[in-house]
Amino acid sequence: MKREIEFEAVSIPSSNRPLRFDEKLCIGCGRCVEACQVDVMIKGKPPVVLYPGECYYCGGCVMECPCPGAITLVHPLMNQTKFVPVKGYNHVNV
């Protein structure tokens, strides 16, 4: 006799949104969910990110996705900075 078990999942509120899905491109295959090293999401179309603060930003989900552009990995603002060379400064002569 097979018993059916139901679970209720509630997304943890966070200002961090590491993964964004394009619902038009996502096919709901769940390959991204399986590739996630820290299990931050569950299967769905698109997957539901339950624990956004736990994301490692490894990009495994993006690389595993068979639909280019369906998942976008968005790094935190502090990781999005770019180093701009300072005019007149030559690091070789330091």
- The pLDDT value recorded for residue 28 is 95
Cβ proximity of 40 and 32 under 8 Å: no
User: Which domain does 23 fall in, by range?
Assistant: 19-75
Q: Which residues of the chain have pLDDT under 50?
A: 93-94
In whole angstroms, what separates CA 73 from the centre of its chain? Answer: 5
Q: 14 lies in a domain?
A: no
Q: 31 lies in a domain?
A: yes
Rounded to whole angstroms, the Cα distance separating 68 from 58 reads 17
Q: Output the six-digit token pair for 75.
A: 């790094």
Domain CATH number, residue 37: 3.30.70.20
Query: How much is the pTM?
Result: 0.72
* Count of domains for the chain: 1
On the 0-12 / 13-18 / 19+ scale of CB atoms within 10 A, 41 is buried
- The pLDDT value recorded for residue 91 is 55
Structure-token match 């999401």, residue found: 41
